[in-house]
């Protein structure tokens, strides 16, 4: 007698993890937060680092392009400043009140039966503030942020006195993704990555992730899906809701673990 037909095979889910950027991904670029952040970065370069004002815009863009973030670039070319002071100046003065609770996104995220992880170049306080303003603080299982990839080494005098060639680990570089995979125990082959940055997505694609470009409906190299808004996720990716759900799991709230 054949017993195989008595049992239904459980289909292995396509994705085990959904990896989300924060800024201009969980909220729209039109909010104005990113423009204000750029303004604060330029003011920091002028007021705190003494860089000539007329050189700042081009320098800021070049450092961002070459090093992933302007902060990473400033460190790499020899500027010495405190990370917390930089983040306090750049992010601490942002008009977070411009962000409003997003009930639609909150409900979408809670309904997804897949592990959800934040992966941001932003610092812990900034990520927490954004999630709080959007009402999404209980929607994610894990948070990978600046402090996760760049832990302080205040007890290591040698580390303090020696400036490494690449002092800041950040997207879009492969080492940032690999660190995130290791720390959060993520399998890139079973992960879908949401970001507004094409270069982040293209590098992610090269190392095995499936990618979703947020903020545009146009397809381009390195992008598997393109969504005008994160709110379009159900229409564009209905298969995410077809994942095998564990019994008795409730998605009304998640205790988020911040990796810092």
Output the pLDDT for position 159: 45
Give the position of tokens 């499936």: 210
Per-residue pLDDT tens digits for 126-171? 999 999 999 999 999 999 999 999 998 654 444 445 544 458 999 9
Q: Which residues of the chain have pLDDT under 50?
A: 1-3, 5-8, 155-160, 163-165, 244-252
∠ CA 173-122-228, nearest 5°, is 80
Output the pLDDT for position 258: 67
Output the pLDDT for position 248: 42
Output the pLDDT for position 260: 58
Give the dihedral of Cα atoms 134, 41, 212, 193; nearest 10 deg. -80
Show the tokens assigned to 172.
């879009």
Output the pLDDT for position 1: 46
Show the tokens assigned to 122.
């932003």
Per-residue pLDDT tens digits for 182-202? 999 999 999 999 999 999 999
CATH of 17-29+101-259, one of 3.20.20.140, 3.40.50.1000, 3.30.830.10, 1.20.1730.10: 3.40.50.1000
Domain boundaries, the chain: 17-29+101-259
């Amino acid at each position: 007698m054949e017993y195989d037909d008595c049992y239904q095979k459980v289909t292995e889910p396509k994705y085990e993890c959904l990896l989300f950027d924060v800024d201009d991904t969980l909220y729209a670029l039109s909010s104005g937060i990113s423009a204000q952040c750029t303004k604060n970065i330029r003011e920091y370069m002028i007021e705190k680092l003494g860089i000539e004002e007329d050189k700042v815009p081009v320098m800021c863009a070049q450092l961002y392009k070459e090093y992933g973030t302007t902060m990473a670039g400033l460190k790499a070319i020899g500027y010495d400043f405190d990370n917390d002071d930089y983040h306090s100046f750049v992010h601490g003065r942002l008009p977070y009140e411009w962000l409003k609770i997003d009930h639609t996104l909150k409900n979408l995220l809670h309904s997804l039966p897949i592990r959800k992880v934040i992966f941001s170049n932003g610092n812990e306080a900034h990520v927490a503030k954004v999630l709080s303003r959007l009402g999404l603080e209980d929607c994610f299982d894990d948070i990978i942020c600046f402090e996760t990839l760049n832990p302080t080494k205040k007890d290591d005098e040698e580390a303090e006195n020696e400036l490494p060639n690449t002092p800041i680990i950040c997207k879009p570089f492969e080492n940032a993704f690999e660190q995130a995979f290791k720390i959060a125990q993520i399998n890139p082959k079973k992960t879908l990555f949401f970001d507004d940055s094409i270069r982040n997505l293209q590098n992610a694609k090269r190392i095995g992730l499936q990618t979703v470009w947020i903020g545009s409906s146009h397809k381009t190299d390195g992008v598997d899906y393109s969504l005008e808004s994160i709110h379009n996720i159900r229409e564009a990716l209905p298969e995410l809701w077809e994942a095998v759900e564990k019994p008795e799991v409730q998605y009304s709230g998640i205790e988020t673990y911040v990796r810092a």
